[in-house]
Structure 1
Amino acid sequence: MNGDPNSHGLWEASAPTCPASGALREHIEVEVAIIGAGFTGTSAALHLAEGGMRVAILEAQEVGFGASGRNVGLVNAGMWVMPSVLMEHLGTDHGKRLLELLGNAPSVVFELVRRHGIACEPVRNGTLHCAVGNAGVVEVTERTRQWMALGAPVELCDAQRTRALTGTGAYKASLLDRRAGTIQPLAYVRGLATAAMQAGASLYTHTWVTGARKEGENWHLETASGASVSAKWVIVATDAYTATNGLWSGIRTEQVKLPYFNLATSPLPRHLSESILPLRHGLWDTRHVLSSLRFDAAGRLVFGSVGSLRGAGRAIHHDWGRRALARLFPALKDIQFEHEWYGTIGMTQDALPRLHFLDHNVVSFSGFNGRGIAPGTVFGRELARLILGDIHVSDLPLPVTPVTRANLRILRELGYETGAKLFHAVDARI
């Protein structure tokens, strides 16, 4: 996108074309204006339009430009934190509500894919959270125990079974979550946008919202081109890609940016692809500087980790990827990477998302902490249900909280990027 092959890489090269759209050039009046065309914004638009509301999506770039079009594509249940930690932070009522919503969220994603015929390479065989070292075994064992206590279809796999499921002996155990799976994320968000438009929503790309003021019962939104929108409700769905110098910038400044990159091989020969992740699970590990693995439909192995592909980081992370992949799977030592790309994950202080009422009838879910696909989809649906009057604010899965600034944000962001470079410069060396 925008002529940058490192922004969306393989996903842009292999996704169906984006639905036809253009910049807003006039004044329009709708019931709901949605700022941002990622998972949350397009899901909200789809469910609002299906509920009979007039809705417009206003996207500053293109559909899926932010984290939605750049990530690994793992459709996971829950958040990064364990269920018990989530309950401790949110309390019993909201904790149970959020765990139930997110536990069922992958089913919502795959059902939307089926119902709307979204061509996004869906594979629902589960994901593997793989243990590195003894500390990793302790982590996945406890995570499995907690999810099993909640009735989730998860399984703790020992080293032997993990090796059979992954094709490598690098992991001592793993948590198999059968609720989960993989998709092509950019294709999915483009499909949601297409479905929303078919249901009656309007989509305007390259439309930067620069101003907002209250006029009676409605909001008047101004755009950089001079066009405008009048709406009773505004959903701010820009998350970690919210501009720090723009509207409602607190959404961005309460999150710390964590860079994450992906490297994709060329399609592997069949004898190799069948020996790695043979059931096509998605995978991520327990390391602090974690790694992830999954296949696409053409047999490319997508390998990701923390870091940005810019400056010296590009060569460091690329070289690490070659070494680390060869250590996991020695047969891949001569395999080249065909695509590379990176983006930003927004991390909150407690690794949990936020629900904000930024002003009267201006609402936002944000802070997905690397779990954007399934949570973004169901949070968008829940905002639609709220605006349609199907539920009350007290029924939402998170409490309404004020926007707070992240502590030492800029320093921590520099630490993430620099730390990842230092780690990958020395890791996986023979």
Structure 2
Amino acid sequence: MLKKTHGSVTSNLWGKTAVSAPDAASFQGERSVDLAIIGGGYTGLSAALAAAEQGAEVTLLEAETVGHGGSGRNVGLVNAGLWLPPEAVNARLGPAAGERLNAALAAAPDMVFDLIERHAMACEPVRAGTLHLAHARNGLKDLENRAAQLAARGAPVRLLDAAETARRTGSDRFHGALYDPRAGTIQPLGYARGLARAAQDAGARLHEKSPVVAVQQVGGQWILRTSGGKLRARSLIVATNAYHQPIDQTPVPKVPIVQYFQIATEPLGDNLAGDILMNGEGCWDTGLIMTSLRRDRAGRLILGGMGGGGRIHEDWARRKLAQLYPRLRGAGIEHTWSGRIAMTGDHLPRIRRFGPNAFAIYGYSGRGIGPGTVFGRAVAHALIEQSETALPVPVIEGHHEPFVRLKTLFYETGARLAHFAAARS
């Protein structure tokens, strides 16, 4: 029987169901290391693990807790590639650099799932692929174009018609889908905590509740100061992305922020949800105001959409759930939560040099799991080996995003208007 939930529920499902957090006491005293990392999300943790595996002395400082930012608020889709189709990546970066990035991110799910298996991470990995859903007929044309571009690069993708899409999703509301068997889903906070444990096992030292308040470059070393101590490092990675906090003398550029919220139902029995994503795929659609859909191991249905949460977005999500699956009208909602996405103007991630042996990594535009893992490992290797040839994108020396606050407001206002209008359609 469905239990109708009234009012707003505000707890992050991933925080409730993830394995326990690693022990990472706040940083105290003084220390000298090869590599300092600011930020305990996928990028920073992946970098810490890669560097420690190469024998480097590594210390990671996290202002809150491991996975506090986007890594612990993620949808949990392990995608191959970016939102952009491959030819759009090439148009922005040039053919050589574009294909290097396309190839690196096509292999990202392999890297993520290999790490999960190698380190026995408890993060509900399901490699059943993803479905990019056509929300309208024009969305299906977009998917046809993407499918052709991906197939030309050897990707084993397949375009599904409306009937097959309905069979896989359990809903007849979509015009088709692009199936990518390389991809999958995970419990995103569980993966972040798994990376943290693996990094610690490899010798990296991680410290939570250790916000960096100042950074200086002195005599060939980086000096990082927290309220509890001072860290000296030959190299530095800033991996704070959409959750960057101001740090003296660390000019990480600002980018527009997109809010993304999710709701999770109570666990659904097979009598209600037996044909909803029965193969375990994760989904997102082609709508400008994007919607995502997946299930977790306990059988909850998780629906997400652009916007910062609140009554307008939550009411829309409940109605959307009922539109897709009428029998779930009035289903109990156990969790709602939201997070921030750093959305660069061209939807491409950045590696920015801001001093000797110092890089900032940011701008995944909603694709944090695969790119974060790939970029973190690549930059760690580049700093240790003193070679940038294997980086997935060229290093930039500066980056300016115009109208950052206006674009941030535009994204949220657009989501609110779309969801408000949908309530009356």
TM superposition score category, shorter chain reference: over 0.9
The answer as to whether partners of 2:215 and 2:248 remain within 8 angstroms in 1 is: no
In 2: Cα distance, 1:107 partner to 1:307 partner: 31
| Among candidates 407, 426, 430, match of residue 421 of structure 2 | 426
| Identical residues among aligned pairs (%) | 45
In structure 2, the CA distance between the partners of 1:173 and 1:428, relative to structure 1 (3 Å rule), is farther
> Post-superposition, which runs of at least 4 consecutive aligned residues in structure 1 deviate over 6 A?
none
Instruction: Give the equivalent residue in structure 2 for 1:30.
Output: 33
Aligned partner of 2:187: which letter? Q
Aligned partner of 1:258: which letter? V
Aligned-residue offset at 1:68: 0.7
**1:354-369 correspondence to structure 2 within 5 Å:** 354-369=350-365
In 1: Cα distance, 2:175 partner to 2:351 partner: 38
The answer as to whether partners of 1:217 and 1:232 remain within 8 angstroms in 2 is: yes
Aligned partner of 2:238: which letter? V
Instruction: Give the equivalent residue in structure 1 for 2:5.
Output: none
In 1: Cα distance, 2:345 partner to 2:415 partner: 19
In 1: Cα distance, 2:96 partner to 2:237 partner: 25
Instruction: Give the equivalent residue in structure 1 for 2:100.
Output: 97
In 2: Cα distance, 1:294 partner to 1:115 partner: 25
Instruction: Give the equivalent residue in structure 2 for 1:115.
Output: 118
Tell me how many residue pairs correspond in the alignment.
417
Aligned-residue offset at 1:402: 2.9
Pick which of 255-264 and 391-400 moved more.
Answer: 391-400
Instruction: Give the equivalent residue in structure 1 for 2:152.
Output: 149
In 2: Cα distance, 1:153 partner to 1:247 partner: 46
SS state at 1:57 partner? strand
Instruction: Give the equivalent residue in structure 1 for 2:212.
Output: 209
In structure 2, the CA distance between the partners of 1:334 and 1:110, relative to structure 1 (3 Å rule), is same
Aligned-residue offset at 1:249: 4.2
The answer as to whether partners of 1:243 and 1:249 remain within 8 angstroms in 2 is: no
In 2: Cα distance, 1:78 partner to 1:245 partner: 31
| Among candidates 53, 56, 61, match of residue 59 of structure 2 | 56
Query: Is residue 350 from structure 1 mapped to residue 346 from structure 2 by the alignment?
Result: yes
Pick which of 11-20 and 266-275 moved more.
Answer: 266-275
Instruction: Spell out, residue by residue over 1:131-158, the C-alpha distance to the aligned partner (whole angstroms, 9 max, x if none).
Output: 0111101101100110000000100001
Instruction: Spell out, residue by residue over 1:181-221, the C-alpha distance to the aligned partner (whole angstroms, 9 max, x if none).
Output: 00000010011001000110001111111111222221111
Length-normalised TM-score, structure 1: 0.95
| Among candidates 232, 235, 239, match of residue 234 of structure 2 | 232
Aligned partner of 1:331: which letter? R
Instruction: Spell out, residue by residue over 1:33-83, the C-alpha distance to the aligned partner (whole angstroms, 9 max, x if none).
Output: 000010010001011111111000000100001111101000001111110
The answer as to whether partners of 1:144 and 1:175 remain within 8 angstroms in 2 is: yes
Aligned-residue offset at 1:226: 4.1
SS state at 2:12 partner? helix
| Among candidates 28, 44, 48, match of residue 47 of structure 2 | 44
| Among candidates 334, 337, 344, match of residue 338 of structure 1 | 334
**1:309-328 correspondence to structure 2 within 5 Å:** 309=309, 314-328=310-324
| Among candidates 362, 382, 387, match of residue 386 of structure 1 | 382
The answer as to whether partners of 1:34 and 1:56 remain within 8 angstroms in 2 is: yes
Query: Is residue 167 from structure 1 mapped to residue 162 from structure 2 by the alignment?
Result: no
Pick which of 415-424 and 35-44 moved more.
Answer: 415-424
Aligned-residue offset at 1:25: 1.3
Aligned partner of 2:40: which letter? A
Instruction: Give the equivalent residue in structure 2 for 1:137.
Output: 140
In 2: Cα distance, 1:179 partner to 1:31 partner: 35
Q: Tell me the C-alpha RMSD between the 2 structures.
A: 1.3
Aligned-residue offset at 1:404: 2.4
Length-normalised TM-score, structure 2: 0.96
Structure 2: segments with no counterpart, 5+ residues: 1-8
Instruction: Give the equivalent residue in structure 2 for 1:15.
Output: 18
In structure 2, the CA distance between the partners of 1:276 and 1:89, relative to structure 1 (3 Å rule), is same
